[in-house]
Structure 1
Amino acid sequence: MPARRPVRTALAAAAVALLSVTAAGCGDTGGLRGAGATPTAASPAKLWPDLRPASSPAYPYDVSTREIVKGVAVPGDDIRKVDPVDVVEAELRAHPADYGSKGAYHATVDRMQECRPGGDRARCPLLKPYYRDLTGDGRADLTLGFRLYPTNQTAVRVYTVERHRLVQVLADNDAIIGVELAGRSLIERSPADTSGYEYRTTWEWDPGQRAMVFSRDEYLHVGDGRTGRTPSPSASPAPSTGTTRTAEPAATAASPR
């Protein structure tokens, strides 16, 4: 999903500028003071009313993904009986442009061979699977993550079962710090270009599209940034600036192997 990065860069610049202005007015921790006269309420001012509306988005971005997984059976419609290795290998076969010899993630194919019995588990790119009902049908769904070699990205996937078939309902690739499940939402944490900040992208189930849809992309302050280090994948998120934190962290992506 590389198209998200240009949008995030603009968002980051705006957020930093806003925080700088806000910080300039802070610092007085004394007693209570009167705020003065209450300003008269003013309605929002609509700028450039004659501006011609854009006919297309500035950047293409897939807000949802839905794909039937071919070649993987679901015994008894129980997703827990599906081998996650089979699921990932089915994706590798279905998308040769990404995983073939000239694909961006070509090294993932060789690494996946290490996930089989007798392989070197330290080289296996597949992360621990998690099971939780994200679609609201009362049955567990499967959340998978696997490293995309030779890049530093991680694939995040969600699967459900429909009509005895395995269906992929979320597919996102990004540089991942951590992943959380909160209720029926999946939240990805990614490093920002500015030290001390991070992105949090939220995906939620949409009954109409029958898929996990992109619903929110936040740019958050998580530390002073003086060390220039990104948070550890296993660390809990630090309190964010002006944002309600999600509760119930359930899954954290493993560190790169």
Structure 2
Amino acid sequence: MSKFLAGLGVVLTTLYLSFALWLVGGRLYMLQTMELNAVGDFFAGIFGPLAILWLVLGFFQQGIELRQNNDALKLQAEELRNSVEQQRELVGVTARQVSIEMEKWQHERRAAAEAAKPVFNLVHSSTLPMHDGYWYKLLLSNIGRYCQQVVVYLRKDEHESRIFNKATLKATEEVEVNLPIHGEGLLSRGHQIHIECLDSLGGVNTQVFDIESFKEPGTENPAVLIDKIYAVQDRVS
């Protein structure tokens, strides 16, 4: 468009100057005899329309450039919006990937922690009478992973007594736990065996068994019932 306006200006200027030359004709020699103010009026009259012409063409050219700049700014704004949208989508994808990786890591961590736990099995082996109660022999076995700092407690309500401890307990290892009960020699309802240890990852693990003994008529030694409770919380030491 600027080339068109420039060409139009050149053509109109050429036509105008040709017309002015034809109009003045052979009277150019009279300029030498005219006063300076008259000469100035002559040239102002000749070139004034040309100045107005190029001023108008410049105005149109400026309008065209402003519209072009406006279009360029709109295009840049659109590209910026598209870039922001792409960045937002990229952030969303990255956040989803991080969330998936975090869930995967947590799942693997829980699986590793679960695999690192020991699994205790506690059974009644035999009962021996004492002069003031009974001596219960229990077999504690580990069918899970290696553990250490194993401590066994007998608890009821607020009372607790340590009945066994061992530095390590390997997988498939079995040990005997002796539990003497004085007085009547019976384990009433509410007695529990708590087994605490550190698993192979250093997590503190606690497993609980309900234990109860009762004497049936016609029997010499009490029967023993042991039931494992699995609802136990673990924490990392």
Larger Rg, first or second structure (1 or 2): 2
Per the TM superposition, whether the score is higher than 0.5 is no
Alignment TM-score, normalising by the size of structure 2: 0.25
Q: Which one has a larger percent helix, Structure 1 or Structure 2?
A: 2
Q: Which one has a larger percent strand, Structure 1 or Structure 2?
A: 2
